[in-house]
Structure 1
Amino acid sequence: MKRGVAVVVTALMLGAVAGGFATAAGAADAPRGRMVANANACMGCHAVDRKLVGPSFQQIAAKYKGDAQAPVNLARKVKEGGSGVWGMIPMPAHQSMSDADIRAVVDWVLAGAPSK
């Protein structure tokens, strides 16, 4: 490898490593529920503050505010999927998600999907 190319490759590698540290540090500040939602493609259909395919997480929090059964019912909805509450587009089942991960997402959503 020529010296100039080696310098560029080394710089790119160092940038990737430093970027990874920055990402990991930022992830440590994010709520676990948000990290689980990101890792399980929830953000493909939902956004924190605006409707996408499904309702925003903040809309969900507002709808279920004060509902003591919401955590259990929403966890079941995430696990089994469903439709009709927010329109005709169905939410797919997420049966491969662990109950702990589902609960983390549901708790985060019901808290209003805070950034920290």
Structure 2
Amino acid sequence: MKTPLILCLAMASAFPMDAMSSEKMAQDKQCFGCHSTKPDGAAPSFQKIAQHWKGNKDAEAKLVATIRQGSNATGGPHWNKATMPDQAERPLVSEAEAKQLAKWVLSQ
């Protein structure tokens, strides 16, 4: 009986979190307080961010740094005067969570 469980765990760890879990994480980390998936709000939409970074080899690393440390970590503000707050003003985001969120944003 242990073999199927081990196989399931191995398969689950081989694949990245699905889009629904990434979107849920974005909600849990309060990203939707300023961003949305399509229309702009207080901050640019995730779709606009993805379009802006499309084709940039440094996109994921820049987004991870911005997600974890705020706009000032990567020379912000990036979108007019709006700035992304650092983790003193919002829930903590681990490196792994930031990578997952960055990949999800870039897929929009």
**Structure 1 residues 90, 31: closer, same or farther in 2, change over 3 A?**
same
Counterpart of 1:103 in structure 2 is 99
Q: Output the CA distance in 1 between the equivalents of 2:43 and 2:53.
A: 15
> What percent of counterpart residues are identical?
31
Counterpart of 2:80 in structure 1 is 87
CA shift for structure 1 position 52: 0.7
- Are the counterparts in 1 of residues 68 and 98 from structure 2 also a CA contact under 8 Å? yes
Structure 1 unaligned blocks of 5 or more:
1-27
Indicate the SS of the match to 2:25: helix
Structure 1 letter corresponding to 2:80: G
Moved over 4 A (4+): none
Structure 2 unaligned blocks of 5 or more:
1-16
2:46 to 57, 66, 70: 57
RMSD across aligned C-alpha pairs, in angstroms?
1.8
**Bigger radius of gyration, 1 or 2?**
1
Structure 2 letter corresponding to 1:54: A
Give the number of equivalent residue pairs.
85
Q: Do residues 47 (structure 1) and 36 (structure 2) align?
A: yes
Structure-2-length-normalised TM-score: 0.72
- Are the counterparts in 1 of residues 36 and 46 from structure 2 also a CA contact under 8 Å? yes
CA shift for structure 1 position 31: 2.8
Residues 20-48 of structure 1, C-alpha deviations (whole Å, 9 max, x = no match): xxxxxxxx975332111011110010000
**Structure 1 residues 51, 68: closer, same or farther in 2, change over 3 A?**
same
Structure 1 letter corresponding to 2:98: I
CA shift for structure 1 position 80: 1.1
Counterpart of 1:4 in structure 2 is none
